[in-house]
Amino acid sequence: MTEYHQTSRAKAPGGFRERGWRVGLALTALLLLTACGWAGALSGSGRDADANQTALQPTSRTLKSEIRVEETVLPTETVSPEVTVAPDVEPLEETLLLQDKLTALYEQANPSVVYILVTRRGVSLSLYMGSGSGFVYDSEGIIVTNHHVVDPGDRYEIVFWNGDRRRATVLGSDPDSDLAVLQVEGLPEGANPLPLADSSTFQVGQFVVAIGSPFGAQGSMSLGIISGLGRSLPSQRMTETGSSYSLPQVIQIDAPINPGNSGGPLLNLSGEVMGVNAAIATTTGTNSGVGFSIPVDVLTRVVPILVEQGWVAYPYMGLAFDGDITLDDQEIYGIGQTRGAYVLTVMPGSPAERAGLVAASSQTGRGGDLVIAIDGRPIQDFAELNSYLVLETEVGQTIELTVLRGNETLVLPLTLGTRP
């Protein structure tokens, strides 16, 4: 079963921070990585083992039935014409150009990326709770990281690229976006705010760079590509019904990120922040080539609110959906299409109940409204509906939901409440 693991670095057993933990961890990591050949922890390891065995097979085979003995005739004179092969320099030049771009990017961006040590006050000692990464957001000492990085602690130490250290305070934290904002007094030289990217330019296959502190190794950079767009991640908190809210428009990447990378920036090759690295999909707890980054559009919407008031109010309808309708679901629900978000539950007293939306029968699964558009915009599934709600609406705003109810198409006004 695939799980989503946060990439902050959790506390060691016992919880107490000791001077030798870093050396022990580094030696352990070196031994493990040497033994594993940096193979990672890929799901389906049996299949990978088979693949490796296949790769070690000879590249040519001679069957017994194909072996023939032929008489060899040596020529009295052999003429070997001179053949000049032009060196293929273009790929090398392109590789060197990419290398130069990456080294320049690192020199530019790394001074703005920080290592965050998280502790909690004990009776006589500080308990080490974990670590993560972050980056400088503005010249006032604002540092962005993940909610799950800061959540376990109450004391925060920021380590900059040049070894400078600062105490930081939490200005705000939001479990639904998994973002948090810290502030330090004064920034060292070179720690400049990182510029933000334009999300409309993001493409699958685009090169991306992650900088952070995996396993406490500060200033580590990894390279990969965007492997998917428009993903969703569950909130860091559960609702009263046992479900969770979803964060939309998440970026899927194959750039290696591991525990300690949480909160670090995902950058394009121009050094602009595309997202905040947050989680990996894994069955083992380590990277398997599927990582997730909170998109810059969520960052620009949430961070200023956290700086101003410390918390975020999200719009709320009070509905639970089947947002991925299969053909089997379509038959069960008795609806005419798979596109849309099917209403399974309407929360009592919610804005949706006041707007008159109808939920499916808990016995048959039939009779629920199928939401097919919001404010006149057609939706393919719940992910598109959620993306519009989170990124383009406000609490108190009245929206219009277009629903299919039996053979009727209805437009229902709904005034958004505040997410509980």
Per the DSSP assignment, residues forming a β-bridge with 73 are none
- Assess whether 199 carries a catalytic annotation: no
Q: What is the DSSP string of 36-87?
A: HTT----S-HHHHHHHHHHHTS-S----GGG---------S-------PPPP
| Distance in angstroms between the alpha carbons of the first and the last residue of the chain | 30
**Structure token digits, residue 277:** 């690295």
Give the separation between CA 160 and CA 38, rounded to whole angstroms.
27
Find the catalytic residue in 148, 220, 222, 297. 148
Backbone φ and ψ for 373, nearest 5 degrees, come out as -160, 155
Q: Which residue from 103, 168, 104 is spatially nearest to 135, judged by alpha carbons? A: 168
Kind and range of the H or E run holding 91: helix 90-109
Q: What is the DSSP string of 165-228?
A: EEEEEEEEEETTTTEEEEE-S---TT-PPPPB--GGG--TT-EEEEEE-GGG-TTEEEEEEEEE
Find the catalytic residue in 262, 288, 350, 387. 262
Give the separation between CA 52 and CA 56, rounded to whole angstroms.
6
Find the catalytic residue in 174, 178, 297, 322. 178
Query: How many C-beta neighbours within 10 Å does residue 398 have?
Result: 12
- Assess whether 148 carries a catalytic annotation: yes
- Assess whether 381 carries a catalytic annotation: no
Contact 260, 286 (CB under 8 A): no
**Which amino acids are annotated catalytic?**
148, 178, 262
